[in-house]
Amino acid sequence: MTLTRKNALNDFWVTIEGLQVRESLFHWSNFIGLVLMAVFSYSGIQGYHFREPFLEWLSGPTYYLDPLAIHIAIIILIASLVTLCMGSISLFKKTTYFLLVSCILVLVMMLEFEFEKWLFKPIFDINRPPLNEQLPEGPITLFLYNFVGITGQVGTSTPSGSVLRQMLLTMGFLLLSQQQAFNTRFSGLKSKSFYALFAILLALVSFSRIYRGMHTFLDVGVAIGMGTMIFWLFVVFLPSSKMKNLQPEFTI
């Protein structure tokens, strides 16, 4: 008896509204997310903030690595990439798609913030590093905090909301990169450059949150793992009734 998978060379799933998701991306992203969450949960590295004398110069650059500013820039970038992948359409339609995608991503970020505040952080209930270990927030985040009356990062800290939102945006880009329109418009070095950019930005946001004493390795690791699983929960599992080819087909 021999089992042969149909379309063995094509490991794509088709999900919401015909979006393509590579099965290997699903498995590898979850695997890497869980591994990072496990490694960053090691008790021996908690409380370490890279505050070595030879790294003091990073205080300035990490101040301007404002997570909120990076989120805004990535939202604009993803909306622009989606618009560029739409092909030859009118300027009005391109502008409409750009604003629509931007609004959707902003809404996702706002929803994440509320879930983080009222569900995620209370579940873990782990205290944030002391205020005397924290460096000032970035300029845009600080402006927002002053506007709403927040004077310091206190309370619970797990998971890191900044890293979780960054992870969701990164996974959003990975989903976009699976689409045929993206691969037609951006190939080779251009495509690899975008992958490198999003990986670097995720690493920089994670590092800056630890370096500036806002979060521990545990907070960052949990955020990466949760961000991956939450993304796939809403992209794959919840809309599974609309999916095609989710289950492998075999013939005997």
Q: Give me the helices (H) in the chain, please.
A: 23-40, 59-64, 67-84, 91-115, 121-124, 139-148, 161-177, 180-185, 189-211, 217-232
Question: Structural domain tally of the chain?
Answer: 1
Q: What percent of the chain has pLDDT over 70?
A: 83
Q: What percent of the chain has pLDDT over 90?
A: 25
Domain membership flag for residue 25: no
Residues 228, 218: Cα–Cα separation, whole Å = 16
Is residue 41 within 8 A of residue 218, CB to CB? The reply is yes
* 3-state class (DSSP) for residue 108: helix
pLDDT over 50 at 252, yes or no: no
Q: Tell me, what's the pLDDT at 251?
A: 35
Identify the helix (H) or strand (E) that includes residue 88. Answer: none
Domain membership flag for residue 50: no
Domain membership flag for residue 141: yes
Residues 95, 193: Cα–Cα separation, whole Å = 25
> Binning pLDDT at 50, 70 and 90, where does residue 48 land?
confident
Q: What are phi and psi of 157, to 5 degrees?
A: -130, -10
Q: For 220-241, what is the mean pLDDT?
A: 80
Residues 179, 235: Cα–Cα separation, whole Å = 14
Mean pLDDT of the chain: 81
Domain membership flag for residue 47: no
Structure tokens at 6: 């149909």
> Binning pLDDT at 50, 70 and 90, where does residue 194 land?
very high
Domain membership flag for residue 49: no
Domain of residue 225 covers: 33-39+61-237
Domain membership flag for residue 2: no
Domain membership flag for residue 53: no
Domain membership flag for residue 183: yes
pLDDT over 60 at 6, yes or no: no
Q: Looking at the chain, how many residues does it have?
A: 252
Q: For 228-238, what is the mean pLDDT?
A: 79
Residues 135, 159: Cα–Cα separation, whole Å = 19
Largest CA distance in the chain: 69
